[in-house]
Amino acid sequence: MKLPTIKGFDEAAFNKYLKNTGWLMFGRILSMIVGFVVARFLGPISFGDLSFADAFTAIAAAIGALGLDTFVIREIINDPTKKDEILGTSLFLRLIVNLLLIPISIGLYLLFHHLSDKPGEPLTYVVALLSFATFFKSFNVIDSYFQSQVQSKYVVQVQNICVIASAIFKIILVFLKVPVIWFAWALVFDGFILALGLTIMYQSKGFSIFRWHFRKERAKSLLKQSAPLILSAVMVSIYMKIDQVMLKSVGSAAVGIYSAVAKISEAWYFIPVAIVTSVFPALIHARKTDHPRYIKRLQNLYDLLIAISLPVALIITFTSNIIISIIYDNRFAGAEEMLPIHIWSGIFVFLGSASSQFLLAEGYTKISFYRTAFGAVINILLNLWLIPLYAGLGASIATLIACASSAFYILLIPKTRQQGIMMLKSLFLVTAFQKIFKR
């Protein structure tokens, strides 16, 4: 069957990108369903503890990524003969940093949250296990290689196999009615089998990680380029996860209810990530060879993401009561009020993902950092004000405002303002109507 194309993209190229995105659907949907089952089984308090630990360690995981993922893609595209050096150096850096972050994460938790969890109680061990799970994410450099070759389907095949294995394991845990600590072990298992699967897939394509090597000069170059993105990734993690950490002051149940809502809203976030990472090589190529075409592709990308995210937000807004009742059986009281607010954050996450590719392609890494820092600060300040008043509902409002502020921060910068205007045109369907009336 012939896949539809979007004006501004080559038919063959776009079909390839669309197929790559399609590969993600099965695994993501299965993972989403199992996540709902686990949340429903655990209930607000235990699910709140697991979600808090996941959010707390996510900030460390953002540091451990070193902002290298997209830079590895760009470096391999620009100099494919050096891929073993680029991948080896990146892996070494990430392994070392992630190992150091394990005791740091546990220490920070014990320092700032020991009053809410006495020594020996489960949450301490949950945080420790999830801190360890981030170590395996170092092997995501293999994912970056396949993305650079527009071969994400191989990574998705590995992910789907891992998701199936993970789903079986978690369903067994639910059936056995085990405590929350076992689900923390399940997340460690997820990280391990994905790292193993990526390594096996890379080896099966005729390559070998044993040819990878570390080069000091390459390490300095990568870290110099990615330093702003490290801070940017941390800020992204903060403004996406800090609400769950700050809600712990209200109680684990509040974290659990809010996290149950976020799990529904954020279930769609893999779509913009899949699309923008797939089209990134095409954007880089167009920027080098045909600048007007490059701009046109960006506008089409914004239009596409709005065409996906806006209907989802509208549908979920008007059916939130039904959705919460079906998924959680009304075990998470108050979630139906948060979902119609939280779901709209996705529109700005979609636009932000696309415009981030523009900032990276243009080398505006500092602007990328300032933008996410701006959103993080707004989120923290609003959470400090709204959480004591409205708990999870306040956190939902804070997240929505922070995501919108971060996405459109580029309007404040003269050299990126045009991209912000292009995003506004997509958001308010201006370009969509222009295309309709031109026909």
- Assess whether pLDDT exceeds 80 at residue 270: no
Q: What is the per-residue pLDDT for 21?
A: 55
- Assess whether pLDDT exceeds 90 at residue 98: no
Query: Looking at this protein, which amino acid is placed at residue 2?
Result: K
385/252: higher pLDDT: 385
What's the CA dihedral at 340, 27, 256, 188 to 10 degrees?
A: -160
Task: Output Rg (C-alpha) for the chain, integer angstroms.
Answer: 21
User: Tokens 């912000």 correspond to what residue?
Assistant: 420
- Is the dihedral angle over the CA atoms 55, 56, 61, 62 positive or is it negative? positive
Q: What is the per-residue pLDDT for 433?
A: 74
Query: Looking at this protein, which amino acid is placed at residue 147?
Result: Q
- Assess whether pLDDT exceeds 60 at residue 354: yes
Which whole number is the average pLDDT over 389-416?
A: 93
Both tokens assigned to 325: 């009742």
In a domain, 214, yes or no: yes
- Assess whether pLDDT exceeds 60 at residue 121: no
CA 2 vs. chain centroid, Å, equals 30
Both tokens assigned to 341: 């607010």
Query: Looking at this protein, which amino acid is placed at residue 279?
Result: V
Instruction: Please provide the DSSP assignment of 47-62 as one string.
Output: HHHHHHHHHHHHHHHH
Query: Looking at this protein, which amino acid is placed at residue 319?
Result: T
pLDDT bucket at 48, cuts 50 / 70 / 90: very high
> How many angstroms separate the CA atoms of 114 and 353, rounded?
36
Global confidence as pTM = 0.81
Range with lowest mean pLDDT among 64-68, 260-264, 354-358:
64-68
User: Tokens 């020594």 correspond to what residue?
Assistant: 119
> How many angstroms separate the CA atoms of 272 and 283, rounded?
15
- Assess whether pLDDT exceeds 90 at residue 385: yes
pLDDT tens digits, 327-353: 998 789 889 999 999 999 999 999 998
In a domain, 3, yes or no: no
> How many angstroms separate the CA atoms of 151 and 424, rounded?
32
Q: What is the per-residue pLDDT for 9?
A: 45
pLDDT bucket at 12, cuts 50 / 70 / 90: low
Q: What is the per-residue pLDDT for 20?
A: 53
Chain-wide mean pLDDT for the chain? Answer: 83
- CA 272, 166, 205 angle in degrees (round to 5)? 70
Query: Please, what's the b/e burial string for 176-212 (b: 16 or more CB within 10 A of its CB; e: otherwise)?
Result: eeeebbebbbbbbbbbbbbbebbeebbeeeebebeeb
pLDDT bucket at 316, cuts 50 / 70 / 90: very high
- Whether residue 135 contacts residue 267, with contact meaning beta carbons closer than 8 Å, is answered with no
Contacts 24+ apart (CB under 8 A), 341-345: 341/393, 341/396, 341/397, 341/400, 342/261, 342/262, 342/265, 342/396, 342/399, 342/400, 343/264, 343/265, 343/312, 343/313, 343/316, 343/317, 344/313, 344/317, 344/400, 345/265, 345/399, 345/400, 345/403, 345/404
Both tokens assigned to 328: 């959680």
431/392: higher pLDDT: 392
CA 18 vs. chain centroid, Å, equals 19
Residue among 421, 399, 409, 395 at smallest CA distance from 352: 409
- As a residue count, the chain comes to 439
In a domain, 4, yes or no: no
> How many angstroms separate the CA atoms of 135 and 129, rounded?
11
| Residue 377: domain span | 11-438
Number of domains forming the structure of the chain: 1
Which whole number is the average pLDDT over 164-185?
A: 94
In a domain, 388, yes or no: yes
pLDDT bucket at 8, cuts 50 / 70 / 90: very low
- How many percent of the chain have pLDDT more than 70? 90
Range with lowest mean pLDDT among 98-102, 126-130, 161-165, 221-225:
221-225
In a domain, 289, yes or no: yes
